[in-house]
Amino acid sequence: MKRLRFILSSLQDFYKLSLKAPLGIFRRPFYFKDTLEQMDYAGPGSVFIIILVSLFIGMALSLQISAELAALGLKMYTGKIVGVAIIREIGPVAVALTFAGRVGSGMASEIGSMILGHQVDILRVFGVDPVKKLVTPRVISSILMLPALTIIGDAVSLIGGYYIAVFVSHQSASFYWTQIKDILDFENIFSGLTKPFLFGYTISIISCYFGLTTYGGSRGLRRSTTMAVVVSTVMIIVFDFLITKILLFVLGMRV
């Protein structure tokens, strides 16, 4: 019974935070400097790892698809399949998972350290709302930076796919890019860019929530950071499925 009450109370706190944090965007004071700092950490600070991950994902996908299609004599369609897979599904999910591992864990551990070091208590004593000061800038930065990183990641993945298709699988470079151009229609771009906004919001809220609920010293900090990454990872996969389902319905695409 006590456990159930704890879970319900935690869920209530989580929902309150998930509503209060984005609403902070519209209420004074505005923490522009904090937001810019967070954007710098989340965006430019993540570019290298995103490029690295995306490049190898694009190459691996292209390699696998080329091999499968070659057996059917259809390997010239590698670009089309790689493009759709990357832009609609794998790109947003892979970048979001990487973002959760790098930025989400950083948010949880930074806020958790501030809780343990009484810095959040000091903010409250000074009359500063910790959600507005700490959570809202992180939510804004994630919502803005994750889509930008996803665009970069998608582009790099397509280049990785191109390298394998052209130089390993010996396909036509112009045909590869023509297929990529063909699949860059509204439906695919809309699908691929809707997800990162929601993923950014989800990762930042989950990570900040676990940071703010840190207790119990360094073991508690380890628990918060781990939970932030694990829960974010699971929710990214679950939301990916749900958004895909909704988008297919909204865009009138039949399965």
Partner 1 sequence: MIVFEDVTLSYGTKIILEGLSFQANFHEKIAILGKSGAGKTTILKLILGLQNPDSGRILIDGTDITVLKESQLRDVRMKFSIVFQEGALFDSLSVRENVAFCLREYTDLTEEEIEERVRDLLRRVGIEEAIDLMPEQLSGGMQRRVAIARSLAACEPRMFLYDEPTTGLDPITADSICALMNELSSGQPPDRKGLIVVTHKVTDAVKVAERFLYLSEGRLTFDGDIDALKNTTDDELKRFIYDIL
118 binds partner 1 (CB under 8 A): yes
189 binds partner 1 (CB under 8 A): no
29 binds partner 1 (CB under 8 A): yes
122 binds partner 1 (CB under 8 A): yes
Structure tokens at 226: 């781990």
Residue 213: name the closest of 202, 224, 205 by CA: 224
CB of 34 to partner 1, least distance (A): 10
Contact 155, 162 (CB under 8 A): no
* Footprint on residues 34-63 left by partner 1 (CB under 8 A): 37
Please, which residue, 121 or 182, has the CB nearer to partner 1? 121
Strands (E), 92-243: none
117 binds partner 1 (CB under 8 A): yes
> C-alpha distances in angstroms, 177 versus 52, 59, 89?
21, 15, 19
Contact 135, 212 (CB under 8 A): yes
Sign of the dihedral through C-alpha 238, 242, 247, 252: positive
Please choose, out of 14-22, 101-109, 111-119, 148-156, the segment that lies near partner 1 by the rule CB under 8 A: 111-119
126 binds partner 1 (CB under 8 A): yes
Residues found near partner 1 in the complex (CB under 8 A): 29, 37, 117-119, 121-122, 124-129
